[in-house]
Structure 1
Amino acid sequence: MADAVTSTGSTPGTSGPNPRRAARTARRAQYRSAGGARGGLVLLGVVLLAVGVLTVLLVTGVFGQGRPQRPLLDPLVEQFLLANGTAARLVAILAGLVLVLLGVWWTARSLRPESRPDLVLDGGPDTEIRIGASAAADAVADGAATLPGVTRARARMVGSTSAPAVRATVWVGEDVADGEVTEICRRLDAEILPGIRDALGMADLPVAVRLELDAARRDDRPRVS
């Protein structure tokens, strides 16, 4: 069981944040964004595809017969590099360093933990109310844990201070029927989450809930050898 229930807290006819921004924030609540990694891989794939196409065209003689047997660099380019060897080596070293730094940055960005932003509320002129990330997430988890059939719940804040969201995992017992799971989802969206949003003062806080089957009791049984 791995059902995701996403609620943005908005209702038809009410004014709220930009719909596109709300949709992006709701997606952020469901899973971590991998847009940067996908964009880099697409760019790398396009470059490799272009190199492959040019190689095929070169071998098939599109750029002239006997071109594959000629030197890779044009003689004029080769003479220029030989005449400016020091400058060419410096440019190559700098380009290599840039590529290494770009790779390190990309790797660090992909592996870094998600931020856990605090909720910042407007308390009036020159007043800021800040709710800790763990307190807001625990409110969602504690509220979900009170529902019948739920054995435990866990939640965490994701996103940014300007666009926060909650990602929660709710475990239900093995003896819970499908109809009871549907009722859990309905009560989460209709009873628990609106009350938490009101308490936090954020009516449009997106919350993504993932339902899992709690097999902890089964796994904790003593094994007979």
Structure 2
Amino acid sequence: MSRPASAKALARSQGTERSLTFVTGLLALLAGSAVLVLGAGWFGTYRARRPVLDPAVTEWLAAREPVVLRVVAIVAGLALLVFGLWWCFRSLRPEAKPDLRLDRTEGRALTVTAGALSAAVQADTEAVDGVTKAKVRSVGDPGEPALRLQVWLREGTDLRRVWRDLDAEVLARARTALGVETLPVAVRIELGASPRRRVR
């Protein structure tokens, strides 16, 4: 069973980008290590002086089907280029902040803009005792609202109390205002550090 779009939006932590970057980096590291080992002469000084792509291999490839192999190489290179460009634009694409359509009935449609929802939840969050600053972003689909909430706390604030207030007051009010029973929320809490004192 697939996750709803709102849950996927909350979990957009570039996991796929990290996995692809890790695999690409690992392959590049292995290829570079192999070339370094060959160049250092670990497989013999004679082999270190020869090209990386052994002439015996190129002769074997030329004896087979040179035209087919070249076409395959060109197609594979173009496919990798297109895939790389697509992945680059996908990673750089800004995350959408959709407006939430609460009622689609013709004549009495009700839409809450992403900015209005974020501003309202941010104001309620910053009103909680111990919170110095809050940043709210609406994510998900227009029909499935979700929030990403980042909260900065004052030094010495009771974390459990703040969490209880956020759930019982801020998020409960947001659920009531949107008319939904569940509202997926990803919360990131930053704890305040004590100010540095200069020693005289």
Map of 1:192 onto structure 2: 170
* Secondary structure, aligned partner of 2:117: helix
C-alpha change, 1:166 and 1:105, in structure 2 (3 Å) is: same
Q: Which amino acid aligns with 1:94?
A: V
Percentage identity across aligned positions?
Answer: 38
Tell me, yes or no, if the aligned pair for 2:100 and 2:141 is still in contact at 8 Å. Answer: no
Show the counterpart of 1:3. Answer: none
Structure ranking higher on relative contact order (CA contacts 8 Å, 6+ apart): 1
Q: Is the 8 A contact 1:122 1:129 kept in 2?
A: yes
72, 78, 81: which is aligned to 2:65?
A: 81
- Quick one: which of 3, 9, 12 aligns to 1:32? 12
Give secondary structure in 2 for the equivalent of 1:95: helix
Match of 2:56 among 49, 71, 90: 71
- Name the structure 1 match of 2:100: 119
Return the offset for 1:189.
0.7
| Structure 2 residue ranges without an equivalent (≥5) | 32-42, 44-53
Q: Could you tell me which of 138, 147, 151 is aligned with 1:170?
A: 151
User: Where do residues 1-225 of structure 1 align in structure 2 (5 Å cutoff)?
Assistant: 21=3, 25-26=6-7, 28-29=9-10, 31-38=11-18, 40=20, 71-72=56-57, 75=60, 77-82=61-66, 84=67, 88-125=69-106, 128-176=109-157, 180-214=158-192, 218=195
Question: Superposition RMSD on alpha carbons, in Å?
Answer: 3.9
Using the size of structure 2 for normalisation, the TM-score is 0.68
Deviations 1:145-179 (A, max 9, x none): 11112222110112333543211112221242xxx
Q: Which amino acid in 2 is paired with 1:144?
A: T
The Cα offsets for residues 1-44 of structure 1, whole Å up to 9 and x where unpaired, read as xxxxxxxxxxxxxxxxx8x635x744642x52334325545776
Q: TM-score, normalised by structure 1?
A: 0.61
Deviation (angstroms), 1:201: 2.4
The aligned amino acid for 1:78 is A
Are the aligned partners of 1:152 and 1:171 in contact in 2 as well (CA < 8 Å)? yes
Structure 1 residues 166 and 123, CA gap change in structure 2 (3 angstroms):
same
Cα distance, 1:26–1:187 mapped onto 2, change above 3 Å = farther
Pair 1:96–1:155, CA change in 2 (3 A)? same
- Whole-Å Cα distance in 2 between the matches of residues 39 and 214 of structure 1? 32
Deviation at 1:211, TM superposition (A): 1.9
Please state whether the residue corresponding to 2:149 is helix, strand or coil: strand
What's the offset of the Cα at 1:184? 1.3
Contact residue 117 and residue 133 of structure 1 kept, 8 A: yes
